[in-house]
Amino acid sequence: MILGIAGRRVLVVGGSRGIGLECFREFQSEGCQVKSVSRTEGFDLMPEDGPRALVRVLEDWAPDIVIHALGGSQGVTRALSPVKDWEKVWRLNLGIAIDLNNSFIPAMQQNRWGRIIHISSNAPKIGIGYCPYVSAKAALDGYVKAMSKEFSKDGVIISALAPGIVHTPGRYFASLNEEEQEEYFNKYIPIHRFGSAQEVAKVVVFLASEHAAYMAGSIVRMDGGAR
């Protein structure tokens, strides 16, 4: 399938590992001009001026496609955590993306073409996960829907991919032994395995393609039928 994005400029936010890294590789294989940014690569977007600093660094390199792969719980696990801790989780999962989108969307509107894909989660749908994280991803899904109503008429297609558990070295689920994994699969995942970052990245690339022009506001679940 010809995706029609060869030569497009792609920015992967959170591209140093896992889903973000695989997205970086997949877009490169499609002949795109790809740049990535992450804290491990020396650029911290969490401070209030972080996104503005990134835009300044990019200068005239305005992306046609933006992949928001940042996310996580920030170690905030308690439902009764202080609001300032919830805000950290929301900042990572949504706030940074809002700041960057505010900077990049005007150029996409002018070009009458753009793709913004957010990595969400199936957590809001199945109700499993830490409350601050789940609420941030639920807000992200609402943001995607509402923003699409504003900008799809300009050729800017905003969508999200909501994966289930993706096997990532160093994360909790990667440390489960065979018996623990089997118990988890029996309880939650009918397909009986975790997803891979490579699988997710291929769907992200499709959402960025010409074939996804009618998918404005889509929240695509990819979780093995998780319940």
Task: Let me know: does 52 contact 35? Beta carbons within 8 Å.
Answer: no
Q: Which amino acid appears at position 137 of this protein?
A: K
Alpha-helix residue ranges (DSSP H) falling in 91-177? 96-111, 123-126, 131-151
Q: Could you give the angle at the alpha carbon of 100 between the alpha carbons of 95 and 101, nearest 5°? A: 95
What tokens does 208 get? 């960025």
Short-list 202, 199, 190, 194, CA closest to 174:
194
Task: Let me know: does 39 contact 23? Beta carbons within 8 Å.
Answer: no
The catalytic residues are 133
First and final C-alpha spacing in the chain = 32
